[in-house]
C-alpha cells in the first residue's frame, strides 16, 4: 500500500473514532428538579383571590411510589410583625397515616431595602409515617418521597384566628433530564459514516488496483511465453525444411542428429 493510501486510511480511522466519541458524548445528561403545581389540567394550588385559606384547608393530589413532594406558601401578614410565627401542615397518606411538620417564620430587617420581611428560619417535623420518606428535608424546605401509590392530602393547620396565608400549593418535584450535547449526536453520526465509507473505499480501491496490476503482469508474461513458443516452432519448421533437402541432414553433426535437436526444442517450447 502506497504512502498516500496509508494516510487516507489513518485519516478515516480517526474520523470513525471521533464520530463514536461525539455520539457517546451526546448521551451525557444533567438532572434538574422542576416543581409542578398542575397535572393533566388540574391545579393543586390555592390563592387568596380564589379561595379563603383558613384552618383545615385541604389539597388532595395523587402520587406514585418514588415521586417527591413539597409545600410552597406565601403569607399575607403585614407589619408590624410578631416576633415569631408558626405555619403548620399535615400530610395524610393513602394508608391514613399522618406526617406533621411546621415552618418557623421570624422578622428580618433588610438594611439594603430598609424593609422588614418574614423569613423561614427553621423547619421541624414532629411526626412521620412509613408512607413518606423525609430524609431529604433541609432546614427550610420539606421534601418527602412517597413509598406508596395513592392520594395524599395536604392539610393546613392554623393556630391563629386571622388569615395568615395568601397562597399555598401541594407541589410535585419532577426530575428532568437535560442533554446539553444532544446536537453532537447528528454531527457524530455524520462523521462516523464518512469515516467508514472512506475507509472501505480506500481498502477496496487498493485491492482493485493490485488485482489489475497482477492481471497486467500475468498478461505480459503470457505474451512473452506465446512469443517464445512461436519463435521455437518457426525455428523447428525451418530446420525440418532444410533437413528435407539434405541427404544426410544439413545440420547433422558428430554430436547429435537434427531429429534430436527438433525434439529438444519442442520439449522446451511446451514447458
Is the C-alpha dihedral spanning 157, 162, 164, 167 positive or negative? Answer: positive
Tell me the CA distances in angstroms from 262 to 235, 242, 252, one per residue in order: 9, 12, 12
Quote the cell numbers at residue 30: 444533567
Q: Write out the chain in H/E/C secondary structure.
A: CCHHHHHHHHHHHHHHHHHHHHHHHCCCCEEEEEEECEECCEECEEECCCCCCCCCCEEEEEECCCCEEEEEEEECCCCCCCCCEEEEEEEECCCCCEEEEEEEEEEEEECCCCEEEEEEEEEEEEECCCCEECCCCCCCCCCEEECCCEEEEEEEECCCCCCCEEEEEEEEEEEEEECCCCCHHHHHHHHHHHHHHHHHHHHHHHHHHHHHHHHHHHHHHHHHHHHHHHHHHHHHHHHHHHHHCCCCCCCCCCCCCHHHHHHHHHHHHCC
| pTM, entire model | 0.62
Please calculate the CA angle 187-191-192 and round it to the nearest 5 degrees. 115
What distance lies between CA 255 and its chain's CA centroid? 89
Tens of each residue's pLDDT in the chain, 271 residues: 567 777 878 888 888 899 899 998 888 888 888 999 999 999 999 998 788 888 899 999 999 999 999 999 999 888 888 888 999 999 999 999 999 999 999 998 888 888 888 899 999 999 999 999 999 999 889 999 999 999 999 999 988 888 889 999 999 999 888 888 888 899 989 998 988 888 888 777 755 555 445 554 655 555 555 555 555 555 555 555 545 544 444 444 444 455 555 565 556 555 5
Find residue 98's DSSP bridge partners. 92
d(CA 16, CA 192): 5
d(CA 169, CA 37): 7
Specify whether the CB–CB gap between 95 and 106 falls below 8 A.
Answer: no
For 136, residues 6+ apart whose C-beta sits below 8 A from its C-beta are 68, 143, 144, 145
CATH class of 30-177: mainly beta
Residue found by looking up cell 413539597 in the block: 70
Tell me the CA distances in angstroms from 228 to 131, 239, 240, 271, one per residue in order: 100, 17, 18, 11
Specify whether the CB–CB gap between 249 and 258 falls below 8 A.
Answer: yes
Amino acid at each position: 500500500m502506497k504512502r498516500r493510501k496509508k494516510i487516507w486510511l489513518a485519516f478515516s480511522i480517526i474520523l470513525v473514532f471521533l464520530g463514536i466519541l461525539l455520539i457517546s458524548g451526546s448521551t451525557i445528561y444533567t438532572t434538574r428538579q422542576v416543581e409542578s403545581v398542575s397535572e393533566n389540567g388540574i391545579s393543586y394550588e390555592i390563592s387568596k383571590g380564589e379561595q379563603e385559606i383558613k384552618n383545615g384547608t385541604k389539597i388532595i393530589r395523587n402520587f406514585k411510589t418514588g415521586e417527591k413532594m413539597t409545600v410552597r406558601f406565601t403569607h399575607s401578614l403585614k407589619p408590624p410583625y410578631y416576633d415569631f410565627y408558626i405555619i403548620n401542615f399535615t400530610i395524610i397518606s393513602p394508608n391514613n397515616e399522618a406526617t406533621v411538620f411546621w415552618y418557623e417564620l421570624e422578622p428580618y430587617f433588610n438594611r439594603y431595602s430598609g424593609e422588614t420581611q418574614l423569613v423561614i428560619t427553621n423547619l421541624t417535623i414532629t411526626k412521620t409515617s412509613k408512607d413518606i420518606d423525609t430524609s431529604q428535608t433541609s432546614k427550610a424546605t420539606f421534601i418527602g418521597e412517597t413509598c406508596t401509590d395513592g392520594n395524599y392530602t395536604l392539610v393546613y393547620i392554623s393556630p391563629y384566628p386571622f388569615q395568615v396565608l395568601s397562597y399555598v400549593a401541594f407541589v410535585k418535584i419532577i426530575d428532568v433530564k437535560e442533554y446539553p450535547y444532544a446536537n453532537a449526536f447528528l454531527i457524530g453520526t455524520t462523521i462516523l459514516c464518512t469515516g467508514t465509507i472512506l475507509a472501505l473505499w480506500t481498502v477496496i480501491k487498493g485491492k482493485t488496483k493490485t488485482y489489475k496490476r497482477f492481471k497486467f503482469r500475468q498478461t505480459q508474461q503470457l505474451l512473452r511465453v506465446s512469443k517464445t513458443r512461436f519463435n521455437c516452432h518457426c525455428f523447428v519448421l525451418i530446420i525440418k525444411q532444410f533437413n528435407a533437402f539434405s541427404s544426410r541432414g544439413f545440420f547433422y553433426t558428430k554430436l547429435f542428429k537434427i531429429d534430436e535437436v527438433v525434439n529438444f526444442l519442442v520439449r522446451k517450447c511446451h514447458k
